Amino acid sequence: MTRPDVLSEAAAKADPVVGLAAAAALRRLAEQLEVLQVDHARTLGWSWQQIAAALGVSKQAVHKKHARRGPRRER
């Protein structure tokens, strides 16, 4: 995983190649964080509606994106 301080330094560079690579790395990091937290919320028994509200998206969007990974783990 890329360190956040390295990403923020790269994002501030004038070279678009470096800045765009940093933006792509941040996007991947955000996706990984979302997956981890959605899985954790489901493990704790959160509904798709609760998760969607926390993410600021519709229930349908979050369900479509995350439900196919399989059933939630039981507590």
Q: Is residue 75 in some structural domain? A: no
Contacts of 48 (CB under 8 A, 6+ apart): 59, 62, 63, 67
- Domain membership of residue 61 as a residue range: 4-69
pLDDT at 75: 47
Q: Is residue 74 in some structural domain? A: no
Residue with tokens 């493990």: 43
pLDDT, mean of residues 49-75: 87
Q: What's the number of domains the chain is made of? A: 1
Cβ 44 vs Cβ 72: under 8 Å: no
What is the per-residue pLDDT across 11-27, written as a single tens digit (0 to 9) for each?
A: 677 789 988 888 899 89
Q: Please give the model's pTM, rounded to 2 decimal places.
A: 0.74
